[in-house]
């Protein structure tokens, strides 16, 4: 659903209004073929900074000349990472000959726009020039150390954190080390500690991270990384952070994302979502975009709930240039801004997760003649989230809505989204936000909430919409 900030009678907080207006002005400018005026200096970065969090994006440096790209980048993010140009093949294509043109552009961009610069990546089994693969072990070790030392030294004082080793573990997810890494094959498990120690020697202050994918929830791979982090810390190897890439499939945010981030944080490292995108089958439609919004919201909520989670970075800025369609044919629309730079529902979900509150709407309730409710809980230990989708089956629109239902004694709502959710005893009431007060005839509205439970998490038996009992979907 596109965002319509200029519709009359839709109250929302001043901050969210500014955020949305800024980005929509931009989108409108793009649509008529000229770049939008520079939006106000607000956006997600302002909201994230209020939580002490970074909201980052992977910069495709060759797109910086596009003013629409540049405007969104400037206004929305407070952290930037090079999508490709700090990888080995870009900075050291020929042994011993370093090429800084593109990587410096990213560093300069970060400096001039006052963004944190995140370094990606010193060692990876991909994006390596051929010569690296031909070296015997002792020369490979020397080349690895030289590469790390040279790159880290160049950006000393400018890069806040480096992905020192990217994707050390196998794609098969069983927790084994990656067999298709030349470093792993020729140098053995110890190359990770060697790389970290080398990086620390080149910059005593930069944060040193391990980064991987498929580790967002607990499983063999994340357990293996957990064990590695634990043992590196125990043996005094410098390690400050773990990056969770989070290239996610629509509707598949792991239910234990938050607790998994927390267990790593409890080892004494910072954690961060480093490459978030949520891919869907193309074409995108309203249902998928709504699910994606819920997914983005969950990721941010998980990060905000973990004190040592430093922020969330998306892998790209606009669906126009995302890596997804090329690497996952038939999939795409994975980011918060669409191909025309318009903010998607995921954008609004993130803004709301970051506290851009939406006050209850003013229109008076009208009685519906029928409704259907889908209740989608997602439970872990003693916590849960639930998405509630309410369809208006009546022939006329509902203008202003209140949804009621009962939880059990052990269940408590802690916060809600897309509605004001309050609880009195076991009775829960959800009132519309300003921008979703109307449910068109046949239309659906979704809201959700987070809560705690005492060990069991039963779903409510019945829901009412403006006092009328709905069917369960």
Binding positions for ligand XIL, rule: CB under 6 A? 83-84, 166, 245, 275, 323
Q: To the nearest whole angstrom, how small is the minimum distance from the Cβ of residue 159 to ligand XIL?
A: 16
Catalytic annotation, pick one of 92, 167, 352, 387? 167
> CA-CA distances (angstroms) from residue 322 to 36, 58, 236, 332?
21, 10, 38, 8
216 is annotated as an active-site residue = no
CA atoms within 13 A on the CB side of 167: 21
Rounded Cα distance, 263 and 457, in Å: 23
The end-to-end CA distance of the chain, in Å, is 22
- Spatial contact of 108 and 158, defined as CB atoms under 8 Å apart: no
Residue listed under structure tokens 């004494």: 268
**Which segments of 60-205 are extended strands (E)?**
79-82, 116-123, 159-166
Q: To the nearest whole angstrom, how small is the minimum distance from the Cβ of residue 65 to ligand XIL?
A: 18
Q: To the nearest whole angstrom, how small is the minimum distance from the Cβ of residue 260 to ligand XIL?
A: 19
Rounded Cα distance, 444 and 440, in Å: 8
Nearer to ligand XIL by Cβ, of 27 and 242: the residue is 242
Residue nearest to ligand XIL (CB): 323
Q: Rg of the chain's alpha carbons, rounded to an integer?
A: 24
| Residues contacting 257, CB < 8 A, separation 6+ | 216, 217, 298, 299, 302
76 is annotated as an active-site residue = no
- Of the candidates 58, 72, 75, 48, the one whose C-alpha atom is nearest the C-alpha of residue 353 is 48
Q: To the nearest whole angstrom, how small is the minimum distance from the Cβ of residue 29 to ligand XIL?
A: 27
Nearer to ligand XIL by Cβ, of 168 and 196: the residue is 168
Nearer to ligand XIL by Cβ, of 211 and 385: the residue is 211
Rounded Cα distance, 345 and 427, in Å: 29
Q: To the nearest whole angstrom, how small is the minimum distance from the Cβ of residue 322 to ligand XIL?
A: 8
- Spatial contact of 268 and 233, defined as CB atoms under 8 Å apart: yes
Active site residues: 167, 275
């Amino acid at each position: 659903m596109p965002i319509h900030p200029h519709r009359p009678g839709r109250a929302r907080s001043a901050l969210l209004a500014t955020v949305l207006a800024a980005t929509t002005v931009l989108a409108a400018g793009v649509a008529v073929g000229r770049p939008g005026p520079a939006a106000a200096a607000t956006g997600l970065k302002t909201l994230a900074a209020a939580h002490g969090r970074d909201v980052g994006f992977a910069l495709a440096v060759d797109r910086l000349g596009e003013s629409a790209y540049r405007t969104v980048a400037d206004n929305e993010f407070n952290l930037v990472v090079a999508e490709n140009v700090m990888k080995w093949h870009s900075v050291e294509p020929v042994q011993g000959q370093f090429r800084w043109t593109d990587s410096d552009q990213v560093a300069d961009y970060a400096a001039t726009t006052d963004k944190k610069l995140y370094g990606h990546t010193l060692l990876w089994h991909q994006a390596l020039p051929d010569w690296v693969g031909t070296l015997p072990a002792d020369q490979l070790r020397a080349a690895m150390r030289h590469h790390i030392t040279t790159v880290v030294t160049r950006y000393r004082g400018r890069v806040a954190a480096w992905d020192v080793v990217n994707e050390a573990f196998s794609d098969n997810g069983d927790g084994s080390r990656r067999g298709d890494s030349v470093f792993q094959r020729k140098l053995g498990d110890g190359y990770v500690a060697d790389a970290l120690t080398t990086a620390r020697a080149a910059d005593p202050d930069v944060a040193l991270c391990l980064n991987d994918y498929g580790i967002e929830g607990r499983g063999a791979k994340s357990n293996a990384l957990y064990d590695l982090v634990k043992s590196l810390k125990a043996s005094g190897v410098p390690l400050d952070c773990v990056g969770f890439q989070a290239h996610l499939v629509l509707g598949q945010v792991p239910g234990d994302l938050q607790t998994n981030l927390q267990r790593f944080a409890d080892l004494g490292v910072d954690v961060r979502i480093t490459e978030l995108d949520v891919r869907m089958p193309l074409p995108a439609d309203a249902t998928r975009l709504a699910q994606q919004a819920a997914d983005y919201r969950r990721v941010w909520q998980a990060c905000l709930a973990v004190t040592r989670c430093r922020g969330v970075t998306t892998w790209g800025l606009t669906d126009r240039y995302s890596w997804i369609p090329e690497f996952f044919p038939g999939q795409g629309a994975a980011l918060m801004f669409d191909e025309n730079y318009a903010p998607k529902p995921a954008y609004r979900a993130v803004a709301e997760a970051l506290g851009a509150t939406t006050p209850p709407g003013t229109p008076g309730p009208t009685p519906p003649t029928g409704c259907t409710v889908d209740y989608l809980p997602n439970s872990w230990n003693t916590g849960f989230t639930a998405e509630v989708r309410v369809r208006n089956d009546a022939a006329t629109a509902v203008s202003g809505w209140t949804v009621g239902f009962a939880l059990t004694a052990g269940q408590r709502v802690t916060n809600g989204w897309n509605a004001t959710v309050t609880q009195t005893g076991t009775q829960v009431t959800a009132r519309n936000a300003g921008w979703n007060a109307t449910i068109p005839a046949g239309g659906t509205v979704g809201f959700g909430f987070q809560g705690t439970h005492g060990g069991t998490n039963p779903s409510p038996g019945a829901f009412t919409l403006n006092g009328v009992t709905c069917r369960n979907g």
